[in-house]
Amino acid sequence: MTVDFYSFAKGVVKSILTPLYRIEVIGAEKFPKEGGVLLCANHISNLDPPILGITAPRPIHFMAKEELFRVPLLKNLITTLHAFPVKRGMSDRQALRTGLEVLKQGHVLGIFPEGTRSKDGKLKKGLPGVGFFALRTSAAVVPCAIIGSYRPFVPLKVVYGSPIDMTPLREKKASPEEATAYIMQHIQALLDQYR
């Protein structure tokens, strides 16, 4: 039921947003076909989650701000679409546990390391939570760059990079902050290359 609804919703949203924003997807073939994936993207619009949802080859589980789950109909919808709540501005242990479980079960966890939207489109410093997930699991870490203005009929690019080799950082027991900075460098490289 849930998988069918996700596929149905993806098809509907894709039929609307793809022509509206002339979406160009680059590098989707690099996306791991199986196993846990930590998908890390820059954040420039409230439309980023559905844009990733319709362009990624696999269903994505997103952390969503807790406030969204207080709206009854919206709560049901986003829960069906694999979202789970996170309290912003603090360490949310339950959200961290849920995220780890998503990855350990071999699913895709979508995360915006900046934590909030960038007002000027420039990549901000990432939060340590993404580094925590990257270090605590063996999931593939995929950087992603969303490039464009979200103006109708102006092309929007979604670029998926090759999985980042986190082995050296895992072996040297790097801090979550170090791991996050390393991931952010890869996102920035995609932004620089494809802008």
- Pairwise CA distance, residues 127 & 161, whole Å: 20
Three-state helix/strand/coil letters over 10-72? HHHHHHHHHHHHCEEEECHHHCCCCCCEEEEECCCCCCHHHHHHHHCCCCEEEEEEHHHHHCH
Bridge partners for 147 per DSSP: 157
pLDDT tens-digit map of 91-106: 788 999 999 999 999 9
Q: Is 79 exposed, middle or buried (0-12, 13-18, 19+ CB in 10 A)?
A: middle
Tell me what the mean pLDDT of segment 107-129 comes to: 94
Beta strands in 55-189 (DSSP E): 60-65, 84-86, 108-111, 140-147, 156-160
Bridge partners for 65 per DSSP: 86
In the block, tokens 């000027």 appear at 120
Query: Where residue 99 sits, what CATH number does that domain have?
Result: 3.40.1130.10
Tell me what the mean pLDDT of segment 115-124 comes to: 93
Task: Identify the domain containing residue 117 by its residue range.
Answer: 3-192
* Counted domains in the chain: 1
pLDDT at residue 88 is higher than 80: no
Higher pLDDT, 88 or 144: 144
Residue 103: helix, strand or coil by DSSP? helix
Tell me what the mean pLDDT of segment 99-114 comes to: 97
CB 165 within 8 A of CB 60: no
